[in-house]
Amino acid sequence: MDLLDTTSTVAISCYALLSSAYKSMQAAYARPSSVSSVADDRVSSDHWPSVDVIVPCYNEDPRTLFACLTSIANLEYAGRLRVYVVDDGSGNRDTVTPVHQAFASDPRFNFILLPKNAGKRKAQIAAIRRSSGDLVLNVDSDTMLASDVVARLALKMQDPAVGAAMGQLTASNRSDTWLTRLIDMEYWLACNEERAAQARFGAVMCCCGPCAMYRRSALLLLLDQYETQTFRGKPSDFGEDRHLTILMLKAGLRTEYVPDAIAATVVPDSLGPYLRQQLRWARSTFRDTWLALNLLPGLDRFLTLDVVGQNIGPLLLALSVITGLVQFALTGNVPWWTVLMIVLMTGVRCSVVALRARQIRFLAFSLHTFINVFLLLPVKAYALCTLSNSDWLSRSVAAGAPDEKETPVPAPLTESSTAKMPGDTAQHRMRHLARDCAAFVTSDD
């Protein structure tokens, strides 16, 4: 039993040291150095690059798709803007057709109807090959964009060394359940700590799918590699955003994060869809981390620490928790050192984030520790053991959860009901979310 106690103590101590080191440096590097401005005089109205907005969708809820396209139609951008909505063989095409028709009169909108489902990656590529803009903005079909997103991202892309840039993600449905509130805080941390720190060195490791802009000239050079990605001889059909970001970095281009380019996306509101989503993401992270390893010697040493902390840290925590539980089951002795260390680290981190964001709600993020320890760690372990599995896990699941983008929506959306949704609700949500994000950006200047 001494061996179990020693193993648990050593593992949690190593985890605490590693996590404290990289989280402290992450927080220091994540402080915004500047905020982009759409009034930047480096770009005149005649010299904004042309932008193609690509929205792949598969069996999306018509109302969610309508809100997404409404936010795109309301974008304020001085340059040429084209929108390509790719229906990837949806089984509910009859119900989303009225949504297409609602925007068909807008000359900026183009609709591509694929005959059968080919996957998000193929849908994106179909639009990329048909379009011609200088920049390509990938947008998920359940995401709403702030009106200035394209302008802010395009400003960052003025530097020819930048191959990709992402905006700040928030949960559009964050007030729905306790889980959506936690996920919204999780997104804030992922953007304003992890991505912000990586962007300090021009190496954001994953430009997230809901709102990511790419340079077309670089995309065309990498398109074949992107389309034909395999893992252990099998085609990869998820993790598109992370893989494309790694390809940009391997090509010698910078990847950036723009905190004031705000996008709100629908997040899972129950544990089942959330855990399935996390399983896909974990598999993608493990797969593409191997691709990124040979990049690390040429990048700042912090990024090596960041990668090690994110991949080795959970393994140390899992080892400590497992040995602690076994010790408790066999002897009835509580591994107090492990428990106290987890509680202490959780309390310190949530307090620091609450002060940094000037939002007391982040104290409640301590509840996420229970999800992380008892649910996400087992999910990540399972992902590591099933890396060859490319199943999306949600395509055969019943509808009803926001994560189930692939499930048909039984209630049809008529043209009259479309007309009753002017997008006011979407714009109200965006203003609310933008206010929260702006408060953080200005507080750290």
The predicted-structure confidence for 68-109, as pLDDT tens digits, reads as follows 999 999 999 999 999 999 999 999 999 999 999 999 999 999
| pLDDT at 391 (0 to 100) | 63
Residue 284 CB partners (closer than 8 Å, separation 6+): 238, 239, 242, 243
| 117 belongs to a structural domain | yes
Q: Residue 361 falls within a domain, yes or no?
A: no
Instruction: Give yes or no for residue 148 having a pLDDT over 90.
Output: yes
At 229-272, the pLDDT tens digits run: 877 777 676 678 999 999 999 999 999 999 999 999 999 999 99
Place 192 in a pLDDT band, splitting at 50, 70 and 90. Answer: very high
3-state SS assignment for residue 2: helix
CATH number (domain holding residue 184): 3.90.550.10
Closest CA to 349 of 339, 364, 335, 336: 364
Res 361 pLDDT > 80: yes
In a domain, 59, yes or no: yes
Would you list the DSSP string of 59-110? Answer: S--HHHHHHHHHHHHT---SS-EEEEEEEES-TTHHHHHHHHHHHHTSTTEE
Average pLDDT, the chain: 86
Using the 8-state DSSP alphabet, how is residue 52 labeled?
E
In the prediction, which pLDDT does 291 show?
79
301 lies in some domain: no
Long-range contacts for 405-411 (Cβ within 8 Å, ≥24 apart)?
A: 405/57, 405/58, 405/59, 405/60, 405/140, 405/141, 405/142, 406/58, 406/59, 407/59, 408/59, 408/90, 408/91, 408/92, 408/95, 409/59, 409/60, 409/61, 409/62, 409/92, 409/95, 411/95
DSSP, res 411: S
**In this structure, is residue 161 part of a structural domain?**
yes
Distances (CA, A) of 214 to 61, 83, 121, 237: 27, 15, 14, 20
CA 264 to chain centre: 11
271 close to 177: Cβ distance less than 8 angstroms: no
- Assess if residue 313 is contained within a domain: no
**Inside any domain, residue 378:** no
Work out how many domains the chain is built from and give that number: 1
pLDDT at 420: 39
In a domain, 312, yes or no: no
Query: Quick one: tokens of 227?
Result: 């389309």
Domain that includes residue 129, residue range: 50-268
